[in-house]
Structure 1
């Protein structure tokens, strides 16, 4: 296979620049539109909207403990359920679990 010429490289750069401009425009459009569904780090599950004007009502629930003998996914699912019930923000979860 022959080495690309400078002309070929320039054409490829122009093509990349056009594609990049298109991606930037699409990103700007996506940011402008209010999204009806948001994904997060918990496997794409949606969290209920937090009421910022009043604190969440904490229920008297104990955080699940992992004993090492059961399936770890069961423990992780219990933890995620706990966080959803407590309406814990993603950035507070590690602190809350510790």
Structure 2
């Protein structure tokens, strides 16, 4: 393989320089757009458009539903799922939490299983 000539190297450097100049202009434009959109944006994400789902949950006063076995169990299940989603409860803890809040006939039914 032959060594590149000075003319080829000069042309390559010119191409790279042009690319860098274009990229710098693009970055400047993006920063300018980000500054103007983040000040007027009211979205739930951060200024860079990312959502942080790795944050711990913000606990709100939300009572866990109770179930006595007399009403429709689907209502209890739906309320439990809403609670678990809001509080970001780990899957391994969900059955225990739900069973802890069973009352009367429902608690007896669960214990006999």
Establish whether TM, by shorter chain, passes 0.5.
Answer: no
**TM-score after normalising by structure 2:** 0.37
